[in-house]
Amino acid sequence: MFKFTRNEVRDLIIAFFVISLCFAIVNAGRDVGAIIAILPIVMVGVGLGFILHELGHKFVSMKYGYWAEFKLWPQGLLFALITSFFGFVFAAPGAVYTYANYMTDEINGKISIAGPIVNIVLALIFLGVAAAIYPSAFHSSTSALIFIVCAIGYSINSFLAVFNLLPIGNLDGSKVLSWNFGIWIITFAIAGIMTLLSMTMGVENIVRLIIGF
């Protein structure tokens, strides 16, 4: 059964808010007014991306019969906040801990890759909605707002996927690489290309290319 502890819910809420704030700072600079204005928009992309990423790990862990729980890493959260003032976010607010006496590299890899795959899928969903809503965004303020939300959602989820797939330290990429190099390189390449396109072309130009606008 998919259960949450009270401490887990508290940690998820804290991490969700602080990470959202970090990405708002990156996108708005040090302008407090701009940060407050963009924060609700960023929360949609970051909220879905962060929460569902962690729930992806938790769901797969519990599918294999293990108990899994998200725990906050205060030092990582503070570091993410500090780095955001320098124009990037080192997002390591915490992790889902899977409690098991023994776990194969395959199961550990599948649990680990679940989070980045969630982010890739979410990014593509955001991009699809952005493409569908783009023509009407020129005539409707509601459509324009939805497009902005989706553009940020695509960029953030692409970044979260490629960041977590880095094969360093305790990130997901290290565990996926230990399990299957082929699967790691494919998912890392997909996430990397999506992030690169977001940073170089911009979401609006990606959408224009897709719909031939």
Q: Are 90 and 83 in contact (CB under 8 A)?
A: yes
Domain residue spans in the chain?
A: 6-211
State the Cα–Cα distance between residues 145 and 147, nearest whole angstrom.
Answer: 5
Span 200-211, mean pLDDT?
93
pLDDT at position 154, please? 95
Q: Select which of 8, 54, 69, 106 is catalytic.
A: 54
Side chain identity, residue 42: V
| pLDDT one-digit tens code per residue, 34-81 | 888 888 888 888 888 888 999 999 999 999 989 999 999 989 889 988
Q: How far is CA 79 from CA 12, 61, 84, 109, 213, in A?
A: 17, 27, 9, 26, 41
Catalytic annotation present for 54: yes
What is the H or E stretch that residue 165 is in? Answer: none
pLDDT tens sequence across 151-203? 989 998 999 999 999 998 888 999 999 999 999 999 999 999 999 999 999 99
pLDDT for 28 equals 80
State residue 111's pLDDT score. 95
Residue 199's nearest CA partner among 154, 149, 134 is 154
At 135, which amino acid appears?
Answer: P
Phi and psi torsions of 69, nearest 5° = -145, 135
